[in-house]
């Protein structure tokens, strides 16, 4: 198994979203396209760019805001 290389987002004054379990950088707050999604577990955000994540399979899901194609994200 190889070494895991993580991208560290430079501090720019913008909010940095991090994994709630391991504190790994995931995205800048400025990369959010929309915060207007709602699922059965709460809020869902649409990001333009993310780092240090693996994506699950695309899936059509009925959310409170309608039917959307989504991918679950998993921290590396």
Task: Give the model confidence (pLDDT) of 34-59 as tens digits.
Answer: 988 887 778 888 899 999 999 899 99
* Beta-carbon count within 10 A of 33 CB: 10
Cite the beta strand spans of 1-76 per DSSP E: 16-18, 25-28, 32-39, 42-47, 53-55, 59-63, 66-70, 73-75
pLDDT at res. 1? 46
* Residues 51 and 31 sit within 8 Å (Cβ to Cβ): no
> With 70 as the cut, is the pLDDT of residue 5 above it?
no
Q: Where in the chain are the domains?
A: 16-75
Cα separation, 27 vs 42, whole angstroms: 19
């Amino acid at each position: 198994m190889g070494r895991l290389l993580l991208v560290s987002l430079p501090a720019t004054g913008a909010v940095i979203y991090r994994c709630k379990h391991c504190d790994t950088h995931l995205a800048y707050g400025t990369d959010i396209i929309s915060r207007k999604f709602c699922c059965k577990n709460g809020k869902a955000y649409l990001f333009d760019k993310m780092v240090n994540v693996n994506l699950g399979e695309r899936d059509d899901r009925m959310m409170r805001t309608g039917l959307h194609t989504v991918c679950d994200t998993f921290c590396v």
